Amino acid sequence: MLRKTRKVLSIIFAFLLLLAFLPQIRTTALTAIDNDIYTFEVSGTFDYDGAYEMFTQLNFLRASVDAPYLILDKNLSELAMQRAAECAIYFSHTRPSGIDVSAEAGFSENISSSHGGKSYNADASLKSFMASHNHKTNMLNPSHRAVGIGCFNQGNGDFYWVQIFDNGKTVSPAPADTHGKLQETRSITALGNLLTLGVFPGSASIKAREKQEFIIYNAKNKGIPYSLRPSLDFDKNGVFESYGCGTCQIAPSYCKTSDSGIAIIDRFAVVTGKNVGQAILEIGLGDTLYKNISLTVLAGESPIVEENNEQLSFPFSLLLPFSDVCESDWFYEDVAKAYESGLINGTSATTFSPNDYLTYAEAVKLAVCMFQKYSIGSVALDNSDPWYQNYVDFAQANSIISQDYLWNTSATRAAYMEIFANALPESAFFEINTVKDNAIADVPMTSPYAAAIYKLYRAGIVQGVDADHNCDPTANIRRSEVATILTRMMDDTTRIR
């Protein structure tokens, strides 16, 4: 159950990421009261076996570079387990309570997550950490003497891993628990200014007798990658459960309807249509913080209000923070998918710059992000100095690129296609279109880029810039166009025939 410590007695807080989108429905954002405190109880499995396995592998890696053996510290390990659970609510080095981990006690911290139903064990997480320069530096730092490791499995394939290093100050020499998997519920305190709550859907049309469920989610959990989450459910006690990234068991929200003759809404934010007409729903955290939602009830049979709550399944998208990307734009859905998945960022916190040309540095970063998302389920690298260097190093080490470019200049279409063609394994580029050699008029097979370009054409990822399917290989590509390419790269159901 979720409790609000001040003013608000109950809240629904859920965070669901699904593959499909409903662009005609606008997702509406709410901002929690900055100084209010919310307490969540998060349930899942704390994997001490996995933590010890990572600890063993970590010391093996340190031995290879003559770094001192680490102690698995009890207090640090318990803090790491708690942090792993906190990342389900707010994936950041800032704790949901608003305290920065490094500032709290001078610790160094590595965090990673994986979603989508596949196992993310110690080996996979350690590989993702080693692929990042900053995380790798933390792990191999010779000044560290102790470490705590946490692994939290929230269920349905959601894993969170945390490493906390002592920076030379061992907290407790007592050995940590090293065995077992503990099913446990832990309390997590979250500060209001770290919660931007969105209501999905932002409006709805239903028929009489039909039901529509509404959820509230934390739109600030930007670290959570894009993944498939097919269902929500209610348990036998009426507690709303969601298996989406960053969710937990939660209590009812504040729910009201302006006209109970048109529709009724229960304390779980489940609406049932009664008669034709329109009503305004109030859904939120209490009478001081809620969102008006427009509901239209169309003609249908008289409702039979059932006591039980049924399983539901629907797609959703986050509210984009970019002022220059509108729902009416042709590229809106693709930008939303790429942004929500963690593949692409804005040029600032509030701008996407859809008409800017893609640079070579950005192309390499996107290729590396796709590579890691496809292979390990999450993006493990961070920006460096210059910001793109970690991505360039990774791309060169993994044969995504074989040459240097003028990184801050605009990439040509031919060059970005060559980079992207190396981002995924060959099996991901299965042929759905027959494109004969030399069929692309401006890309003869003698071109050094021909193999990559024809691969993307045949896989249905690109189709050309005109009715004759010319490639225009020396031209540049806009960021809005790239978002579409990313969607087709990572979701083969969107490819074109």
CA–CA separation, 44 and 188 (whole Å)? 13
CA–CA separation, 96 and 114 (whole Å)? 19
Question: Could you tell me which residues come within 8 angstroms of residue 488 by beta carbon, excluding any fewer than 6 positions away?
Answer: 460, 461, 462, 494, 495, 496
CA distances from 38 to 7, 98, 256 (A): 10, 12, 22
Q: How confident is the model at residue 40 (pLDDT cuts 50, 70, 90)?
A: low
The DSSP string of 136-157 is HHHHH-TT--EEEEEEEEEETT
User: What's the chain's average pLDDT?
Assistant: 75
Q: How confident is the model at residue 92 (pLDDT cuts 50, 70, 90)?
A: confident
Which of the residue ranges 21-30, 412-421, 424-433 would you say has the lowest mean pLDDT?
21-30
Q: How confident is the model at residue 466 (pLDDT cuts 50, 70, 90)?
A: confident
Q: Which residues pair with 212 in a beta bridge?
A: 271
pLDDT digit string (tens) for 370-392? 888 887 777 778 788 899 999 99
In angstroms, the first-to-last Cα distance of the chain is 48
Average pLDDT value for residue range 238-254: 38
CA distances from 99 to 1, 91, 191, 252, 308 (A): 23, 13, 10, 28, 41
Peptide bond into 230 cis (omega under 30): no
pLDDT at 206: 86
What is the reported pTM? Answer: 0.45
Q: Torsion angle of alpha carbons 213, 214, 216, 220, nearest 10°?
A: 100
CA–CA separation, 324 and 352 (whole Å)? 6
Percent of the chain with pLDDT over 90: 25
**Between residues 476 and 337, the one the model is more confident about:** 476
pLDDT at 461: 92
pLDDT at 287: 58
